[in-house]
Amino acid sequence: MNIFLLCGLVCFSALAITMHNLLKSAICLGVASIFLAVLFFRMGAPYAGVFEVSIVAGLITVLFITTIVLTKREGGVKERKLTNIFFLLFFIIFIMIDFFVMKGFIGNLPNMPVGSPNLAENNNFSKVLWQYRTLDLVGQICAIFAGVFSVLALFRADKKENNNE
């Protein structure tokens, strides 16, 4: 079952870059995220799955579509015609290389000792996030601040114009 989800994920990602219509490729990207989210649920990472659906498939797709609409669809860009053919060609070559490299690794992978995991599987998620990765939460706050202030800085010019009008 997982293998179909993985294939669906890669197919939709490939579609997202081969589509000529930007709106369609943004939606393909959203669909690919949903595949990834289902995969996360099946791998036992439900919270990551929820974030993937709500933020990546939801918020990021909305942001993309807003930008595409604001910039009048294509913005007058024609991609090179050969790009898609090249993409297929290189992609098939890459998949073959990928397959053989991975096949070469089967059986040759080192056996990892189960070192000293800080937290066992049965610990609940909120404890891990709040007590083991607290510094990352501070980092998240910093990142959100940085994003907000950058966007404010980039859009400050039109504010001034509006005030003048």
Partner 1 sequence: MTNGEGELLFVFIVLPLVVAGIMPLIGKLSKKVVPDILTNLTTFFLLAYSIIVGKQIIFSGIYTTKFSWFGEPMNISLTLDGFSLLMLVTISIVSFCVTLFSIDYMEHYGHKANYYSLLLIMIAGMNGLVLSTDLFSIYVFLEVAAIASYGLVAYGLGHNELEASFKYLMLSAVASGFIVLGISIIFACTGSLTFSEVAIGIHLVNAKYLVGFCAALFLMGFGLKAALVPFHAWLPDAHPSAPAPISAMLSGVLIKVSGAYAIIRIFLNVFGLTYALSTVLMYLGLISIFVGAIIAIGQNDMKRMLAYSSISQIGYIFIGIGTGSPLGILGGLFHILNHAVFKSLLFLNSGAIEQATGTRELDKMGGLAKQMPLTATTNAIGSLSVAGIPPFNGFWSKLLIIIALVQTQHYAFAVLAVLGSVITLWYYLIIQRNAFFGKPEEIWKNVKEAPFWMSCATVILALLCIVIGVTFPFVIKTFLVPATDILASGVSYLYNFLGY
Partner 2 sequence: MSNHWLLNMGFAAALLFIGIFCLLTMKNLIKLLIGIEIMAKGITLALITSGVERHNVMVTQSLVITFIVIEVSLLATALALIINIYRHTKSLSISKLTNLKG
Footprint on this chain of partner 1 (rule: CB under 8 A) = 110, 112-118, 130-136, 138-143, 145-147, 149-154, 156-157, 160
Structure-token match 């909305």, residue found: 62
2/131 with CB nearer partner 1? 131
Minimum Å distance from CB 60 to partner 1?
A: 14
Return the residues of window 117-156 that contact partner 2 according to CB under 8 A: 117-121, 123-125, 128-129, 132-133, 136-137, 139-140, 143-144, 146-148, 150-151, 154-155
The secondary structure of the chain, three-state, reads CHHHHHHHHHHHHHHHHHCCCHHHHHHHHHHHHHHHHHHHHHCCCHHHHHHHHHHHHHHHHHHHHHHHHHCCCCCCCCCCCHHHHHHHHHHHHHHHHHHHHHHHHCCCCCCCCCCCCCCCCCCCHHHHHHHHCHHHHHHHHHHHHHHHHHHHHHCHHHHHHHHHC
Minimum Å distance from CB 89 to partner 1?
A: 22
Minimum Å distance from CB 48 to partner 2?
A: 4
Return the residues of window 73-92 that contact partner 2 according to CB under 8 A: 74-80, 83, 86-87, 90-91
Q: Does 33 bind partner 2 (CB under 8 A)?
A: yes
Q: Does 59 bind partner 2 (CB under 8 A)?
A: yes
Question: What is the rounded radius of gyration, in angstroms, for the C-alpha atoms of the chain?
Answer: 22
85/159 with CB nearer partner 1? 159
44/164 with CB nearer partner 2? 44
CA contacts within 13 A on the Cβ side of 37: 17
Among 114, 160, 163, 164, binds partner 2 (CB under 8 A): 114
